[in-house]
């Protein structure tokens, strides 16, 4: 029965140890992830310049406000240092540079390691390296941060029971944390022999595991950092010798206990009357200051001794502190208001700069396309017109008795001329920028006119469903006509063997809707977000500007453009217009 009880206790202890190890492992994961998120946020928001000076200024500001970061280094894609900031001592990362080059610069992964003990500030630090993409002179690089592990100590200590003995150490026995000393900063730690002994016991064994000879110790491994976590009870049979002595001399023990108890009462009464009560009042006064309470200070005694003198000096000091606390609170409030104002102004300016940059890029791109369109129009379209006229004259000269082979080649030439002209028109249509001429038109009648003038292939069946009442919209008719014709042209091209083309207008949620749906092969989901991008095309021959023109026209006419496509079922493009009153 006693053996069964002991086994149950051991199982219970093992479960408790396992639960504690899991809590410690979660704290380690949280600590590492927190540093990673902070550094990634810094990279996303602040690493924007190609200037070494700008790097150093940005790093100086960032590290100065992050107490847990000792040093930061920026490396270029060759591993050469570009910028450095370290307020404590020079960051030496030569021993891990090869690993950083492989892991961060080459594989684009986060490097975590390089544990060291700072001999100057008595700190345990580790290195985290994150990849930088196209920010170091337009090329990839890496950001190295040397991070203080003091905050990890506070996190682990907050969950440790008082009777536990815990060690955290690396795979080579490097001690990181002990429950007695916290984060290790001693270069000659007394636990080196313990970690070496534990490493020998867990070598080539599956974790987690119980080490029974180590006071039922339990060891596991953190999956993120690969550190070992060991904990064991420190409760031992330390009172067994006293119990034996008590059994042999119980009378002496009882008398000693009674004497000590009476003496304690006498001493306590004296301390309470002359020391404890004044100290309690002083503690209350200090608490009132700390909490910023408006509660009045308790009356401090003025004994003619050291306690009385201390009370008088404390009262004076507390009055001074309270005045300064009030002044600091007022200054802090002013600073918070200034900070809020600055944040709003910085956010507004940043948004304006992004908008201006996007507009500048767009204008430069359109200017480049416009130049190209001008060259194409002059250097290609004119020769095509000459070729077309020449073909017409040749056909006229040959008459109706033209040989089939020659007729076939002439047809090929004419088809290629039409294809070239179509490409030129797409480029000119996208590059052309003119003042809009807005008119209020009935969307249904406008769509019918476009359908009636577009050459629809014989193998395409057009179905229509038009709203019975007028749907007035405000658009540039020429622009929108080009956009709708581009959609129709794309639809007919993807149905070379024939198919159905459905055109519909209706009123939906207060807006005028125009939808055009084909029964073609559909668009794969992975490229649906690219088809409106200029110069993107899946055709063997094409500019990729047809649907880009559609998007541009929709934006200029304040119409919402919606794409719905399923592979094997077809594609539907919808335009939603604000409804106007005639």
pLDDT in tens, 261-273: 888 777 766 666 6
**pLDDT at 518 (0 to 100):** 92
- The SS3 call for residue 578 is strand
Confidence tier at 241 by pLDDT (50, 70, 90): very low
216 DSSP 8-state letter: S
Alpha carbons 474 and 441: distance in angstroms, whole number: 7
**pLDDT at 513 (0 to 100):** 94
Cβ-contact 493, 518 below 8 angstroms: no
Tell me the sheet residues that pair with 139. 136
Task: Taking residues 42-49, report their average pLDDT.
Answer: 65
Cβ-contact 214, 232 below 8 angstroms: yes
Higher-scoring residue by pLDDT: 417, 498: 498
Q: What is the signed CA dihedral for 412, 417, 423, 429, rounded to 10 degrees?
A: -150
Among the listed ranges 407-411, 426-430, 456-460, 466-470, which one has the minimum average pLDDT value?
A: 426-430
Alpha carbons 145 and 72: distance in angstroms, whole number: 4
The secondary structure of 107-138 as a DSSP string is: S---EEEEEEEETTTTEEEEEEEEEEEEEETT
Other CB atoms within a 10 A radius of the CB of residue 502 amount to: 17
**pLDDT at 192 (0 to 100):** 80
Cβ-contact 311, 282 below 8 angstroms: yes
Confidence tier at 298 by pLDDT (50, 70, 90): low
> Which residue do the tokens 């890496």 mark?
142
Higher-scoring residue by pLDDT: 69, 86: 69
The secondary structure of 132-198 as a DSSP string is: EEEEETTEEEEEEEEEE-HHHHHHHHTT--TTEEEEEE-TT--EEEETTTEE---TT-TTHHHHHHH
Task: Taking residues 53-73, report their average pLDDT.
Answer: 64
Alpha carbons 268 and 274: distance in angstroms, whole number: 10
- In the chain, the percentage of residues whose pLDDT exceeds 90 is 11
Per the document, the length of the chain is 582
Q: What is the CATH number of domain 14-236?
A: 3.30.450.20
Task: Taking residues 316-334, report their average pLDDT.
Answer: 78
pLDDT at 48 over 60: no
Helices (H) and strands (E) in the chain, counts: 14, 18
**pLDDT at 347 (0 to 100):** 85
Higher-scoring residue by pLDDT: 363, 242: 363
**pLDDT at 211 (0 to 100):** 78
Higher-scoring residue by pLDDT: 1, 231: 231
Cβ-contact 470, 509 below 8 angstroms: no
pLDDT at 473 over 90: yes
Q: What is the topology classification, in CATH, of domain 435-578? A: Heat Shock Protein 90 (3.30.565)
pLDDT at 62 over 70: no
> Which residue do the tokens 């500019």 mark?
543
- The SS3 call for residue 221 is strand
Task: Taking residues 384-409, report their average pLDDT.
Answer: 79
Alpha carbons 160 and 163: distance in angstroms, whole number: 8
Task: Taking residues 145-169, report their average pLDDT.
Answer: 85
Higher-scoring residue by pLDDT: 555, 395: 555
pLDDT digits (tens, 9 = 90+) for 129-143: 989 887 767 788 898
Other CB atoms within a 10 A radius of the CB of residue 62 amount to: 19
pLDDT at 144 over 60: yes
**pLDDT at 67 (0 to 100):** 64
Cβ-contact 484, 516 below 8 angstroms: yes
pLDDT at 540 over 60: no
Q: Exposed, middle or buried by CB within 10 Å (0-12, 13-18, 19+), for 263?
A: exposed
**pLDDT at 502 (0 to 100):** 93
Among the listed ranges 80-84, 231-235, 242-246, 522-526, which one has the minimum average pLDDT value?
A: 242-246
Residue 239 phi, psi (nearest 5): -100, 5
pLDDT digits (tens, 9 = 90+) for 176-216: 888 888 887 765 567 788 888 888 888 878 888 887 655 56
Alpha carbons 405 and 407: distance in angstroms, whole number: 5
Residue 159 phi, psi (nearest 5): -115, 0
Residue 451's alpha-carbon distances to 446, 447, 501, in angstroms, are 9, 6, 11
Residue 223 phi, psi (nearest 5): -70, -25
pLDDT at 538 over 90: no
- The SS3 call for residue 408 is helix
Among the listed ranges 36-40, 78-82, 413-417, 430-434, which one has the minimum average pLDDT value?
A: 430-434
Other CB atoms within a 10 A radius of the CB of residue 443 amount to: 25
Other CB atoms within a 10 A radius of the CB of residue 169 amount to: 24
- The SS3 call for residue 576 is strand
Alpha carbons 334 and 323: distance in angstroms, whole number: 17
- Angle (CA) 515-517-520 rounded to 5° is 165
pLDDT digits (tens, 9 = 90+) for 78-125: 888 888 776 655 677 888 899 989 988 999 888 888 888 766 667 788
Alpha carbons 438 and 51: distance in angstroms, whole number: 47
pLDDT at 476 over 60: yes
Among the listed ranges 132-146, 319-333, 367-381, which one has the minimum average pLDDT value?
A: 367-381
Residue 208 preceded by cis peptide, ω within 30 = yes
pLDDT at 534 over 50: yes
**pLDDT at 41 (0 to 100):** 77
Confidence tier at 396 by pLDDT (50, 70, 90): confident
Q: Give residues with Cβ within 8 angstroms of 220, minimum separation 6.
A: 18, 21, 22, 25, 207, 208, 228, 229
Task: Taking residues 173-178, report their average pLDDT.
Answer: 86
Mean pLDDT over all residues of the chain?
Answer: 78
Cβ-contact 485, 516 below 8 angstroms: no
**pLDDT at 88 (0 to 100):** 54
**pLDDT at 236 (0 to 100):** 42
Alpha carbons 446 and 251: distance in angstroms, whole number: 115
Other CB atoms within a 10 A radius of the CB of residue 313 amount to: 11
């Amino acid at each position: 029965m006693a053996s069964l009880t002991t086994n149950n206790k051991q199982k219970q202890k093992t479960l408790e140890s396992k639960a504690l190890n899991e809590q410690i492992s979660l704290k380690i994961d949280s600590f590492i992830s927190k540093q990673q998120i902070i550094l990634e946020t810094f990279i996303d928001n602040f690493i924007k310049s190609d200037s070494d000076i700008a790097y150093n200024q940005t790093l100086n500001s960032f590290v100065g406000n992050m107490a847990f970061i000792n040093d930061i280094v920026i490396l270029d894609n060759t591993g050469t240092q570009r910028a450095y900031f370290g307020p404590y001592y020079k960051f030496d990362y030569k021993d891990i540079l090869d690993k950083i080059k492989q892991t961060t610069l080459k594989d684009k992964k986060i490097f975590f390691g390089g544990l060291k003990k700072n001999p100057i500030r008595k700190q345990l630090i580790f290195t985290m390296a994150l990849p930088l993409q196209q920010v170091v002179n337009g090329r990839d690089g890496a950001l190295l941060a040397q991070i203080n592990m003091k905050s990890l100590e506070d996190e682990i200590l907050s969950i440790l029971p008082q009777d536990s003995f815990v060690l955290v150490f690396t795979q080579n026995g490097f001690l990181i944390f002990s429950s007695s000393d916290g984060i290790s900063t001693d270069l000659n730690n007394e636990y080196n022999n313990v970690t070496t002994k534990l490493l020998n016991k867990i070598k080539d064994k599956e974790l987690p595991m119980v080490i029974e000879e180590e006071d039922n110790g339990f060891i596991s491994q953190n999956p993120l950092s690969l550190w070992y976590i060991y904990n064991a009870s420190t409760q031992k049979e330390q009172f067994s010798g006293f119990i034996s002595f008590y059994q042999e001399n119980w009378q002496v023990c009882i008398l000693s206990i009674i004497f000590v108890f009476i003496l304690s009462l006498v001493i306590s009464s004296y301390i309470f009357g002359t020391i404890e009560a004044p100290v309690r009042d002083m503690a209350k006064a200090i608490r009132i200051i700390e909490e910023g309470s408006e509660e009045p200070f308790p009356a401090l005694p003025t004994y003619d001794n050291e306690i009385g003198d201390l009370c008088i000096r404390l009262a004076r000091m507390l009055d001074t502190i309270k005045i300064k606390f009030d002044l600091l609170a007022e200054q802090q409030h002013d600073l918070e208001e200034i900070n809020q104002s600055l944040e709003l102004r910085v956010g507004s300016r940043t948004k304006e700069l992004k908008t201006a940059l996007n507009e500048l890029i767009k204008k430069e791109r359109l200017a480049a396309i416009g130049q190209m369109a001008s060259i194409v129009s002059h250097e290609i379209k004119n020769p095509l017109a000459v070729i077309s006229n020449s073909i017409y004259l040749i056909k006229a000269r040959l008459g109706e008795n033209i040989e089939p082979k020659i007729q076939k080649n002439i047809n090929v030439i004419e088809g290629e001329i039409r294809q070239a002209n179509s490409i030129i028109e797409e480029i000119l249509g996208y590059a052309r920028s003119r003042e809009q001429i807005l008119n209020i038109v009935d969307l249904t009648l406008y769509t019918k006119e476009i359908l009636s003038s577009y050459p629809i292939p014989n193998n395409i069946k057009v179905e229509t469903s038009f709203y019975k009442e007028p749907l007035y919209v405000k658009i540039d008719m020429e622009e929108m006509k080009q956009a709708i014709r581009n959609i129709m042209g794309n639809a007919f091209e993807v149905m070379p063997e024939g198919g159905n083309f459905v055109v519909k207008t209706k009123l939906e949620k207060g807006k005028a809707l125009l939808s055009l749906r084909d029964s073609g092969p559909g668009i794969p989901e992975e490229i649906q977000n690219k088809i409106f991008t200029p110069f993107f095309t899946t055709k063997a021959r094409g500019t990729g500007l047809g649907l880009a023109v559609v998007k541009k026209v929709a934006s200029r006419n304040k119409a919402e453009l919606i794409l719905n496509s399923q592979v094997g079922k077809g594609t539907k493009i919808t335009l939603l217009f604000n409804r106007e009153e005639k």
